[in-house]
Amino acid sequence: MVGYVGKQKKEAAGTVGRKMTDIVIECRNLWKIYGKITAVKDVSLKVKECEIKLIFGPSGSGKSTFLRCLAMLTPPTKGDVFLRGERLTREGVDLNKARARIGFVFQHIWLFRHLTALGNVELALRRVLKLPKWEAREKAMQVLRDVKMEEWAHHYPAQLSGGQQQRVGIARALVRNPDIILLDEPTSALDPELTGEVIDTLRDLAKKGTTMLIVSHEMPFAREVADEMMFFDEGTIVETGPPELFFTNPKSERAKKFMARLIKRTKRE
């Protein structure tokens, strides 16, 4: 399965004329400190074109904060973030422009409640990329079709199930053709029976070669699509390696314990 996804990814990279060795996003020695609490502690990481990296670790360990620093939704206290080589942590960078190139999917979805599914997907095209109405509509519908939400395009968030909402959330992040999509536990706020449809959508993205950094505990999914996994604990990356490493024999004691718990839980389900 891994090989299959990998092959398609290479083709996808070829079509847009980017090399798979290109670094899309990188952070160096990133810190986020709130008063006395250190949420993110000296994290460095690179994600290359078409790569899928997955972060997992106990709740409250700073994964979400880290992801938000990377998307510059909250400014890091120390350290640097680079998007395709451009330093975003420099004075005078147009952060709105930078954020427009990063897709973000939130744990609690956070769709715009006053807009339909289509309106949610369209908004950035209309007001950020300033596309004409017909073009924005066409593109938005195409992406909604990709996540199989076309039929629900004219429904408001409150009229959709959690899984449907999150697929719209993914479409909203995807529609601008961002350089990378950051996903913060996209399934953990959903009822267990609704996670499947969202995972299927993410699997489709993986096959198309979408560059992604995902925080998730969906282990079977991780094993299938991730090029690399990172165990995150107490604000920092404790261990990095291919999925097989974590499923067979993680080196760090903390990762070992956490994996054991996760696997036990997955079996129960």
Tokens 């969202």 correspond to what residue? 198
Alpha helices, H only, the chain:
2-15, 63-70, 95-100, 117-127, 133-146, 162-174, 192-207, 219-225, 243-248, 253-268
Binding window for other proteins (CB under 8 A); candidates: 5-13, 111-119, 197-205, 208-216: 111-119
Considering only 27, 40, 55, 124, the residue that binds other proteins (CB under 8 A) is: 124
- 102 belongs to the binding site for other proteins (CB under 8 A): yes
- 1 belongs to the binding site for other proteins (CB under 8 A): no
- Give the whole-angstrom CA distance, residue 244 versus residue 206: 18
Q: Minimal CA–CA distance to 23: which of 78, 75, 81, 64?
A: 81
Radius of gyration of the chain (CA): 18
With H, G, I as helix, E, B as strand and everything else as coil, classify residue 24: strand
Closer residue to other proteins, CB minimum distance, 106 or 246:
106
Binding window for other proteins (CB under 8 A); candidates: 51-59, 84-92, 171-179, 219-227: 171-179
Tokens 């996760």 correspond to what residue? 262
- 108 belongs to the binding site for other proteins (CB under 8 A): yes
Looking at the chain, how many residues does it have? 269
Closer residue to other proteins, CB minimum distance, 156 or 247:
156
- 152 belongs to the binding site for other proteins (CB under 8 A): no
Tokens 């409640």 correspond to what residue? 113
Q: How far is the CB of 160 from other proteins (least distance, A)?
A: 10
Considering only 1, 3, 36, 113, the residue that binds other proteins (CB under 8 A) is: 113
230 DSSP β-pair partners? 55, 240
Q: How far is the CB of 34 from other proteins (least distance, A)?
A: 16
45 DSSP β-pair partners? 27
- 143 belongs to the binding site for other proteins (CB under 8 A): no
- Give the whole-angstrom CA distance, residue 211 versus residue 206: 8
Q: Minimal CA–CA distance to 101: which of 210, 17, 177?
A: 177
* Cα 222–Cα 225–Cα 229 angle in degrees, nearest 5: 50
- 114 belongs to the binding site for other proteins (CB under 8 A): yes
Q: How far is the CB of 9 from other proteins (least distance, A)?
A: 25
Considering only 25, 50, 71, 144, the residue that binds other proteins (CB under 8 A) is: 71
Binding window for other proteins (CB under 8 A); candidates: 28-36, 37-45, 132-140, 150-158: 150-158
- 73 belongs to the binding site for other proteins (CB under 8 A): yes
- 157 belongs to the binding site for other proteins (CB under 8 A): yes
- Do the beta carbons of residue 65 and residue 39 sit within 8 Å? yes
Binding window for other proteins (CB under 8 A); candidates: 34-42, 80-88, 92-100, 219-227: 92-100
Q: How far is the CB of 184 from other proteins (least distance, A)?
A: 10
91 DSSP β-pair partners? none
- Chain positions 177 to 236 lying near other proteins, rule: CB under 8 A, are none
- 172 belongs to the binding site for other proteins (CB under 8 A): yes
Binding site for other proteins (CB under 8 A): 71, 73, 96-97, 99-102, 104, 106, 108, 110-114, 123-124, 127-128, 156-159, 172-173, 176
